Amino acid sequence: MTPLHSLLVATDFSAPARLAAQRAAHIARDTGARLELLHVIETRGLPQLRELFGEASEALSSRLESGFRSELDELATSIGEPVGISAGQHLRSGKVLDEICSVADAMDTSLLVLGAHGAGFIRQFLLGTTAERLLRRALRPLLVVRRPCTQAYQRVLVGVDFSAGSRQAIHSACALAPTAQITLFHAFEIPFESKLRFAEVEESVLDQYRSRARQKATHELNQIAGDAGLSTHDHYTLIAHGTPAAHLLKAAQDLDADLIVVCKHGVSMGDELLLGSVTRQVLAEASCDVLVVR
């Protein structure tokens, strides 16, 4: 698996964004990755500033930029010193998504890190279509931080749908949390199950179909774990029958997982399953951190 070499935290200086920066600092320390902090000054408010303050707007803009630089420096110090690392600082102006992707690409960032709910763009990022836009555009894994960082990740739940992305999800989980307990999860559904029941197919027959599907899923789950380099002692497996997102979230609660890992492109029930449905629901409802990989 490819080790992490750099982390990019996009921050709006909100409390949740600070949690994300703190988690990233711990990951950087534990993995030896470089830590970079980015704040983007959203330029769409500048025309209104010029309209309101006229010639004085330039001086105000300069003061705002100086304030942002001070906040960035304070954040870098407050998260870096406790764990003995230094963080790079980047202040950019422009469209937030464009700048995040531009900086991430220029640095060849291993991992993007965001807070779950921000005071500005991050809140919109997760509650609106911006999340999907960035997930589709960014070529990097995305870690959304929800919980305070008190220790390294201990219990990681990886959603598996047997796609190539699932293998990457397992690799990423191991790279991000090398000492954690890894649980691989798969939810299966019987095609047209409700229609078959409506057509009065006997429940015993449906039970046979479910049993076969479970056996097949168990075999494939063990196989993909082996392909990813996990031995039988390195992980646990969970298989559920039903809607993937709901069962994944329940499994995370039952295991008290501190990190859920999903891939944004799935193969089951259509190629956009994980991006259009499962990932969106997990990001919205998970009580723990979520890592989304390609």
User: Distance between CA atoms of 197 and 108, rounded to whole angstroms?
Assistant: 51
Higher pLDDT, 152 or 127: 152
User: Distance between CA atoms of 18 and 279, rounded to whole angstroms?
Assistant: 23
**How is 72-106 classified by DSSP, letter by letter?**
HHHHHHHHHGGGT--EEEEEEEE-HHHHHHHHHHH
Q: Which long-range contacts (CB under 8 A, 24 or more apart) does 195-204 make?
A: none
Mean of per-residue pLDDT scores for the chain:
82
- Show the beta-strand stretches assigned E in the chain: 6-10, 34-42, 87-94, 111-115, 142-145, 155-159, 181-188, 235-241, 259-263, 289-293
Are domains 6-145 and 155-293 of this chain identical in fold? yes
Q: Is the pLDDT of residue 125 over 80?
A: no
> In CATH, which of 3.40.50.620, 3.40.50.300, 1.10.10.10, 3.40.50.720 is domain 6-145?
3.40.50.620
Residues 6+ apart with CB under 8 A from 140: 8, 104, 109, 110, 111, 112
Q: How far is CA 102 from CA 42, 57, 105, 140, 213, in A?
A: 15, 27, 5, 12, 44
Two tokens, residue 121:
């763009």
What is the predicted pLDDT for the residue at 284? Answer: 81
Residue pLDDT, tens place only, 152-185 = 999 999 999 888 788 889 999 999 998 899 999 9
**How is 231-264 classified by DSSP, letter by letter?**
-TTSEEEEEEES-HHHHHHHHHHHHT-SEEEEES
Classify strands 181-188 and 6-10 as parallel, antiparallel or unpaired. Answer: unpaired
Tell me, what amino acid is at 29?
Answer: R
Residue pLDDT, tens place only, 62-95 = 777 888 999 999 999 999 999 999 999 999 988 8
Average pLDDT rounded to a whole number, residues 105-134: 67
What is the predicted pLDDT for the residue at 122? Answer: 46
Fold of 155-293: Rossmann fold (3.40.50)
Q: Is the pLDDT of residue 57 over 60?
A: no
- Show the beta-strand stretches assigned E in 11-63: 34-42
Residue pLDDT, tens place only, 232-287 = 777 899 999 888 899 999 999 999 999 999 987 644 433 343 344 788 788 888 99
Q: Which residues pair with 7 in a beta bridge?
A: 35, 111
Contact criterion met (CB below 8 Å) for 34 and 92: no
What is the predicted pLDDT for the residue at 280? Answer: 79
Sequence spans of domains, the chain? 6-145, 155-293
Residues 6+ apart with CB under 8 A from 181: 154, 155, 156, 236
The helix/strand/coil state of 50 is helix
Average pLDDT rounded to a whole number, residues 126-147: 70
